[in-house]
Amino acid sequence: MKKLMFLGLTLFSTSILLGKYMPDWESIDSRPTPEWFQDAKFGIFIHWGLYSVPAWGPTETESIYDKYAEWYWYKLMDQTSPVNEQFVEFHQKNYGKDARYQDFASQFRAELFRPKDWAKLFKQAGAQYVVLTSKHHEGYCLWPSEQSWNWNAMDVGPHRDLAGDLSDAVKAEGLHMGFYYSLYEWFNPQYLNDVNRYVDQHMLPQMKDLVQRYEPDIVWTDGEWDHASDTWRSKEFLAWLYNESPVKDSVVVNDRWGNDTRGKHGGFYTTEYDLVHDKEVTGGMDHPWEECRGIGTSFGYNRNEDLSNYSSSTELIHLLIDKVSKGGNLLLNVGPTADGRIPVIMQQRLSDVGDWLKINGEAIYGTRKWDSDAVAGDSQVSFTRKGNDLYLFNTDPNQTEVFVSGVNPKSLELLGSSEEIDWIVVEGKVRITIPNFPSERLPCSHAWVFILRQAF
């Protein structure tokens, strides 16, 4: 037994020395998350598929998951709850009792899809990376996948490589490109009848094709919850990704590789509307992590949403500040229409975030969280740190002063402004007087950032 243990340790050590990762979680998790991801902070999620044709889901439900328009097909087929019956009623009323979900494929045409315009919008929004749903749980692929014959965007619908066209445009703008990929497919007969055969003959070849064809910087998996990572052969795939793939040095992966992995294994951990499997997470994590959510309450475009269902620009900027100050990234979702347009309200929200980041991006990109209880009183402020500089975010326009301990800055400025800021050290604490500037003298709207230079 001792000889076997020694041999195992020797093989593990040798694999690390040779730069090889073994198909086990200890080895795979030893790979550092590439710094570019931790520096990027802000990305764009895109949910786009056949569900963009009906583009419908209820908005008055308690569960956030019941509002997801991208689950349209599943809700039609699973008539076990009153919420799902709403999908059936809507579908039959508008498309007929005999209409099949598969019929939406011919209506998903993407005739107004201009990938260069999308990429420019994302760059102007200040995003550093983009993640597209290459295949959602419906199984329909946005690239010409051999494993999904006649169920992909080249064979039926747009007759176009949507994933490839967007990947080229995003990379041309200097942004990182990634792909979401659903491990399971709701109604694929092969998956339902023989999951091992599905993994061997469909899923793994398809994932490798996606990586080899487009060389993404992010592989963002989902739909893992039916089986453990051993069934999905996730460790085997990740060992290949880290050792042999064309993106082995730069690629980043999430934590959705089996029902035993979320929040435990992977390059970065994920939350979704602040949830991890229905459990709320609000305090951040020590491991690299990312919050994903929509500008509205659905990921796929939902025509049933109105203005009240959309986050305001101020709310989105405060959300970005909150996640980054806790050490995470924000992956903010847009849901394009079936014809390939990003709804104007989503464009407007992204434009506002981008305008704010043009002034305050220094306090977001490349920063790390500052672990301190140094703020006195009930101040509603948060911090990020970069080197010896400390950034203080003020999101309350009624705040008049803030006390910060544990720092000794050489200077203090308001980002985007040449106005002089009153500050003084009192009994070992920095007291900052928040200026009451008229709006025309403020550098931006929504939130304001003070930089304490050489604070440490």
Output the pLDDT for position 9: 46
Contact of 101 with 329, CB cutoff 8 Å: no
CA distance 384 to 57: 38
Of 209, 222, 212, 119, the closest CA to residue 167 belongs to 119
Q: How many CB atoms lie within 10 A of CB 275?
A: 15
Q: How many CB atoms lie within 10 A of CB 273?
A: 14
DSSP, residue by residue, 253-290? E-S-SSTTTTTTSSSSEEEETTEETTEE--S--SS-EE
User: Rounded to whole angstroms, what are the CA distances from 153 to 135, 137, 341, 435?
Assistant: 10, 15, 16, 54
Output the pLDDT for position 214: 98
SS3 449: strand
CA distance 187 to 161: 23
Q: Per DSSP, what are the bridge partners of residue 164?
A: none
CA distance 171 to 215: 11
Q: Is the dihedral of CA 62, 64, 70, 71 positive or negative?
A: negative
Output the pLDDT for position 268: 98
What is the chain's percent helix, strand, coil content, to nearest 5?
35, 20, 45
pLDDT tens by residue, the chain, 456 residues: 444 444 444 444 444 444 699 999 999 999 999 999 999 999 999 999 999 999 999 999 888 889 999 999 999 999 788 889 999 999 999 999 999 999 999 999 999 999 999 999 999 999 999 999 999 999 999 999 999 999 999 999 999 999 999 999 999 999 999 999 999 999 999 999 999 999 999 999 999 999 999 999 999 999 999 999 999 999 999 999 999 999 999 999 999 999 999 999 999 999 999 988 767 776 778 899 999 999 999 999 999 999 999 999 999 999 999 999 999 999 999 999 999 999 999 999 999 999 999 999 999 999 999 987 666 545 678 999 999 999 999 999 888 899 999 999 999 999 999 989 999 998 889 999 988 887 788 888 899 999 999 989
Q: How many CB atoms lie within 10 A of CB 286?
A: 9
- Name 280's Cβ contacts closer than 8 Å, sequence gap at least 6: 274
Output the pLDDT for position 8: 47
Sheet of strand 423-426: strand arrangement = 401-405, 429-433, 423-426
CA distance 2 to 5: 5
Output the pLDDT for position 82: 86
